[in-house]
Every structure is written in C-alpha cells, then in structure tokens.
C-alpha cells in the first residue's frame, strides 16, 4: 500500500497534459503510434480517441483499486487492467468502424504497451483520488490526441492534398508521397519540435532581456 | 562503549495469498468487462464482416442479387458446410436464378506482405471480370493504385480465362507483363512503378483460376447452376 498524496484538482491538473507536460512534444513518449498511424487526420483522431478512452478507463479503475493493490504486483495488475480496456476498444472499433479498424491494424492492440498509459498509472493514478486521476488522464489523453492530429493533418494535407478525406487543393495538386510514408512522420515530428524549441527559446530570451531592463 | 548498529525494520512483505487474491480479483473484473463488451458488440461485428464480404463479392459480380457459398479445392466444388477445406467460392445469381458469376478468393506475396483478393469469373464469357482487394499492405501511392488506376482496371474488363481442350486447366496462363507490352487478352498490363504488386495480382488470379475454373466447369449442370 502506498501513501495517498492526492493533490487538489486545479486547472493545471487538466492543462499540464495538453501543454506543459504534453506526452508527445515535451515528454516524447509513445513515439511508435505517433510516427506510424498519423498518415491521415482521420487515423490520427481515431488513434488519439482510442488512447484517450483506454487512458481514462484504466487509470480510473487503477485509482479505485489503489488501496488494495500491493506494490509487489502493481505492474502486473496495471497491465491486466490496461489490456482489458484495449480489448474493449478493439471490439468497439470492429463493431462500429471497421474501416478505421482496418487502417489502424495492430496499433490498437499495441496501446497496451503505450508508455504514456503505464506511466500515468504508476506516477499519478496509484497515488491520487479517482476524480483527480480522471481529470489528469483526460488532459494527457487530449494532449496526445491533439499532437497526433497536428502531425496527421499536416501529413495528409501535403501527402494527399486532403483533410479528413476532403480534397483541399483541387485536381492539379501533385501529392508529396513522402509525407504519408514513414520518413514523412519523422520529418513532420521534427518540424513541430523545432517550432516549439524556437518558441521556447524566444520566450526565454525575452524574459532575460526584461530581467536585465529591471535590474538597471 | 559498544554502539548498537542501527537496524531498519524491513516493511513486512504481504503474504503470497494476498498477492494471488488481488491478482485473481483484478483478473475477474477484467474478464467480466471483456465478456460484457464482447456480448454487446458480437452481433454488430458479425454483421459488419458479412456486409464487407458481400460488398466485395457484389463488386466483382455486378448484377448479382443472391449469393451461395462454396468451398473449392483440387477435387472440385463442395457445399460450404460439407467439412472439406479450401478457399471460399461464391456463386452470384440474378433475380431469375440465373448464374451470372463466380467470386473466388486468391492470394500471393506482394511487395510488403501477402495481397489477398477476391476476383470475379463469368462462365458466360469465360473471363475474369474484376477483382477487389481484401487485404493489402502495399506502399501508399504505388501499390494501392491496384484498385484506383483506370488503365490497370481496364485489364479486367474481360481477362481471358478460357479452358484448354480437355478442360483440365486454363488454355493460357494469366500473366502480368511489363507496363505497355500487353498484346494478348490473357495478359495483365502492369502499373508502371508498381510492377511487384501488379505481378502479385496476376500470380494470385492465375494460381487460383487454374483450379477454380476447371472445377466450376465440371460442376455446372445443364441449367447453368452450380
């Protein structure tokens, strides 16, 4: 049994997963689905929402059971719970959206080993109350979904000239095939990281200049 | 003075029984959840699979309104539940009960993975009338042109699959040729840039048709039904 360190729920509980601790752009976690299934905006959204569902469901259950799970068997328990929710997503997608299921293929099952989910379970759900866990997991899941969408939209836009399957550029557009192939994933991810790094550095430089101005 | 060494109390490990009990309980909850979802989604999943298959079959046998499923192997055509194993075969009939086409499953190694497809055979013109891809992992932009390239699809308007004199095999093996070199009605003109995928389609159809077409001809009765 572990000490309960429930933190009060603030806006930050939710927002940190989207911005300050974004699993993809800041923590660089879960790179396998990030690179593999973001070739279209639709696939990205489906993958993001599936992960969001597994993240909230499994972490809420883990948080509910946190006082009963001895630490010696916690990882085994977490994996069983996560796998349960992944199986649920698997069946639901097969039943209601076979096209998306076919496009995502094995990556749905691979959500079991997504380190974002196990990481949240170990570092948050096992120490916090149910509501706080749900809010934090929702933020993290949304952050992951947004990041996937940011990659998927850019790749589909340039790689197929469409967005969510709707043509954008018209007939004469020659698609950049490389964008929907694996190298395109690395390229777009790198570009986003570059943009964020540049933005962070600019902010830091501004802060430094201001500090110097105040010191004078 | 002899100093006592400091002794830290080891936190007592929980008994194995407790660990087993917790794991058992969690597995029980998981099992229940999965069974619930499985029961709930099963009818939809079965329905979706049937729809997908039907869509693929109707795509390669245009005009069909009823389907009958069979299994085909070297010995011939068998009813689906006869206990024989082999690739699936579907016979499509129109509203008056006239056989208008056969759909059969075929597969061959493509560029990335095996390509599985369903092709249509018309006993009337003794030709392959079309195909649809059931499973493919071919390169986007190249290999997936199989189902979208109009010039490639034109190969299957009437791809010759007539039988030889004794009806034991195709008179001419269906073969994929290099882009722009098709001269015979049993040849498939490959897609430029997707030769491997095009060849896989030709190979899959040929291997399957060599067995299926003779078997179907033998089983057709005088009214032209299987």
- pLDDT value at position B6? 64
Could you identify the residue written with the tokens 């490990």?
Answer: B13
User: Chain A contact for B147, CB < 8 A?
Assistant: no
User: Chain A contact for B41, CB < 8 A?
Assistant: yes
Of B18, B30, B48, the CB nearest to A94: B48
State in Å, rounded, how far the first CA of chain A is from the last one: 54
Give the integer Cα–Cα distance in Å for A152 and B204: 34
How many domains would you assign to chain B? Answer: 1
Give the integer Cα–Cα distance in Å for B71 and A202: 68
Give the integer Cα–Cα distance in Å for B146 and B149: 6
Tell me: pLDDT of B75 over 80.
Answer: no
**Higher pLDDT, residue B102 or B167:** B102
Share of chain A above pLDDT 90, in %: 54
Six-digit token string for A74: 């916690």
The candidate with the shortest Cα–Cα distance to A107, out of A48, A170, A195, A53, is A48
> What is the three-class DSSP state of A31?
helix
Determine, yes or no, domain membership for B11: no
Give the integer Cα–Cα distance in Å for A162 and A175: 9
Share of chain B above pLDDT 90, in %: 24
Q: Answer yes or no: do A95 and B48 touch at CB < 8 A.
A: yes
Give the integer Cα–Cα distance in Å for B214 and B217: 5
Candidates A91, A100, A107, A184, partner chain B, best to mutate (most B CBs within 10 A): A91
CA distances from residue A168 to A158, A161, A177, A185, B90 in whole angstroms, order as listed: 10, 6, 16, 20, 40
Tell me: pLDDT of A3 over 60.
Answer: no
Residues of chain B contacting A73 with CB distance shorter than 8 Å: 19, 22-23
Task: Of A8-12, B7-11, B74-78, give the lowest mean pLDDT range.
Answer: B7-11
Of B22, B29, B41, the CB nearest to A94: B41
A89: Cβ contacts below 8 Å, ≥ 6 apart: A50, A53, A54, A108, A111
Determine, yes or no, domain membership for B73: yes
Summarize pLDDT for A46-89 with one digit per residue, the tens.
999 999 999 999 999 999 999 999 988 999 999 999 999 999 99
- pLDDT value at position B86? 77
Find the domain containing B180 and state its range: 46-219
Instruction: Nearest chain B residue to A64 by CA: give it.
Output: B26
Six-digit token string for B144: 């997936």
Determine, yes or no, domain membership for B38: no
Tell me: pLDDT of A106 over 70.
Answer: yes
Residue range B66-77: average pLDDT?
81
The answer to ipTM > 0.85 is no
> What is the three-class DSSP state of A29?
coil
Give the integer Cα–Cα distance in Å for A126 and A119: 10
State in Å, rounded, how far the first CA of chain B is from the last one: 104
Tell me: pLDDT of B128 over 60.
Answer: yes
DSSP tag of A105: G
Of B30, B38, B48, the CB nearest to A98: B48
């Amino acid at each position: 049994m572990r000490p309960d360190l429930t933190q009060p729920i603030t806006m930050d509980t939710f927002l940190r997963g989207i911005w300050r601790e974004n699993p993809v752009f800041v923590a660089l976690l879960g790179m396998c689905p990030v690179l593999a299934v973001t070739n279209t905006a639709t696939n990205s959204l489906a993958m993001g929402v599936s992960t969001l569902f597994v993240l909230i469901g499994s972490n809420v259950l883990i948080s509910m059971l946190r006082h009963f799970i001895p630490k010696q068997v916690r990882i085994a328990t977490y994996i069983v719970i996560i796998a349960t929710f992944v199986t649920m997503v698997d069946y639901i997608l097969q039943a209601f959206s076979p096209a998306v299921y076919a496009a995502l293929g094995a990556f749905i099952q691979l959500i079991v080993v997504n380190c974002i989910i196990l990481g949240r379970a170990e570092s948050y759900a096992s120490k916090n109350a149910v509501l706080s866990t749900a809010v934090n997991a929702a933020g993290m899941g949304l952050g992951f979904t947004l990041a996937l969408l940011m990659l998927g939209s850019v790749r589909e836009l340039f790689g197929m000239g469409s967005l969510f399957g709707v043509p954008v550029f018209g007939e004469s557009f020659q698609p950049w095939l490389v964008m929907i192939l694996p190298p395109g994933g690395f390229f777009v991810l790198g570009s986003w990281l570059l943009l964020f790094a540049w933005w962070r550095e600019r902010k830091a430089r501004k802060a430094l200049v201001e500090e110097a101005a105040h010191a004078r | 003075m002899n100093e006592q060494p400091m002794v830290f109390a080891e936190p007592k490990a929980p008994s194995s029984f407790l660990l087993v009990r917790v794991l058992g309980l969690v597995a029980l909850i998981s099992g229940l959840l999965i069974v619930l979802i499985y029961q709930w989604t099963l009818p939809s999943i079965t329905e979706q699979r049937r729809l997908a298959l039907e869509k693929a079959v109707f795509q390669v046998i245009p005009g069909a309104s009823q389907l009958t499923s069979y299994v085909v192997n070297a010995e011939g055509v068998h009813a689906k539940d006869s206990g024989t194993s082999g690739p699936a075969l579907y016979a499509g009939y129109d509203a008056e009960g006239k056989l208008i086409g056969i759909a059969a499953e075929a597969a061959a190694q493509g560029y990335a993975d095996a390509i599985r497809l369903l092709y249509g055979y018309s006993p009337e013109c003794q030709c392959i009338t079309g195909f649809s891809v059931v499973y493919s992992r071919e390169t986007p932009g190249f290999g997936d042109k199989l189902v979208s390239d109009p010039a490639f699809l034109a190969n299957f308007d009437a791809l010759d699959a007539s039988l030889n004199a004794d009806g034991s095999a195709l008179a001419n093996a269906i073969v994929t040729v290099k882009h722009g070199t098709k001269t015979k009605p049993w040849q498939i003109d490959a897609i430029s840039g997707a030769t491997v995928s095009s060849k896989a389609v030709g190979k899959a159809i040929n291997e399957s048709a060599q067995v299926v077409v003779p078997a179907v001809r033998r089983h057709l009765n005088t009214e032209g039904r299987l």
